[in-house]
Structure 1
Amino acid sequence: MLLIAVIIGPRLWDAIRTDKSGLCIVVLVLFVVGMFKSAWDIRFIHQQFKLSNLQLTALETAPGIQAFLNSSISSVFRDHVSNLYEIYRRDNTINQDNLVSLLQNKMQSRTRFTEQTSTVIITLGLVGTIIGLIFAVEPLSAAFDPENMGKTEVLYGRMKLVMDNMKTAFYTTLFGAILGGIALRILSILVDSNSDNLVGHVAELCEVHLLPAMRHAAQDREIVPKDETPRDIDLRKYGLN
């Protein structure tokens, strides 16, 4: 990020001042929003990491799963345990593969904003290139008007406008490529990596510490008729705590 600031910092004010389309400001605002959103997502993921470890300890010391669910705050780990418990209450075959896939999709939908913002910024950079070129062509057509032929001051004035408008094309392309194509892409990769680690961590905690006891208890319980609500099972004797 420091290198990016060094590259575009000195050119930032000149880009905003000369950009008639206003796209440089839009790109900059979107980048700041995307940067703060990615920082918020990473903070959330790190909090969930810590909370999952704390809640695992609470689960191991609770009288049972239902007691843990009633006393714990909402979290990625707690919600995953709740879903596993619902499966346990309705089926003797307990598998978390589908739940892990669903959790992965939920986390991706939560952290997808940074990636989408990156794509939008790159697109705006390309749009700015086209707009800048269009703005650059207009003064040229006037400069070669027969009425202005031979008027040096008119030609110089029009060429100055052409160069200013070319800056719009170049600056929006530069900002779109650096801020969207590089900076936010890096942040998006970082967020996705942390998200995947959290999903894997939650799945591992449940697979190692919870599912063996739930499967053991499911094998020993009596089959409940479909028209009756399954009763809660005390899992303490199966090594839950």
Structure 2
Amino acid sequence: MPESSSTLLKRSQPVGKQRNNLQLLQEDQQAGQIMQSMIRPQSPWVANDFVFTSFAAPSLYLSGDAVDYFYLQDGRIAFYLGDVSGHGTAAALVGILLQSMVRQTFLNEPDISAVTPSYVLQRLNTALLSYNLTKHVTMVFGIIDPLVNELTWSIAGHLPLPVLYVDGKAQYLEGKGQPVGLFAEASFNNATMSLPQQFSLTVFSDGVFEVLPKADLSVHEIVLPQCVQDAGGKHESLVKILGLDNLVDMPDDIAMLVLSRNLA
């Protein structure tokens, strides 16, 4: 079988030049990692009496997981975790694009009070499809209204589902939907709940399954709420229980967002 042109090109390059190219590529990845860390949200971040904390670890240098939380112009608080398909540079660039698109969606709306999580997902779905990026995103998107103490959320094909911790017990929130940027006819639904005075809500990217004991998905879905329960719903305890502070050679990116209130 004839050799590819790329293989022949590599063979024609001096060894020293190949090493220089590899070093430049590594430096680019490291610079991208620094830039990506700079645009991540502050952690912890306090909004009203809610505390947001986040964690993100790439499998290589750059992460395809996107996490953000911020005030809206009408005083509500938006947050999301998005998991771009694949990992590496392409996924990371889509994650950065996603963050820009989310913010722009709110800035461009004349009536911000009418914007819901499902509406944002619908807009993102249309935009990503128009770019023909061959990438899709699973997401959990939520908006808190402090005035009425309500959380509204929408889920776009994301697993694991968010884990709610209240009164010493942890369980998944319900939700379903198709990923963003995959199907033109995708639709998304909103769910609403009153928020307890003391609780936490944890959202993971599916990379978290890589740090759980090796088992099938059904077992993982049981183990994850138990981990949140054992951690008392706290970000710092979850990091330790899941070993997120000592990750090595991960096959997938991992991200975690914890929203909490009044946890001792």
- Same fold by TM-score greater than 0.5: no
Q: Structure 2 length normalisation: TM-score?
A: 0.22
- Which one has more relative contact order, counting CA pairs under 8 Å at least 6 apart? 1
Instruction: Tell me which protein shows more strand as a share of its residues.
Output: 2
Instruction: Give 1 or 2 for the bigger CA radius of gyration.
Output: 1
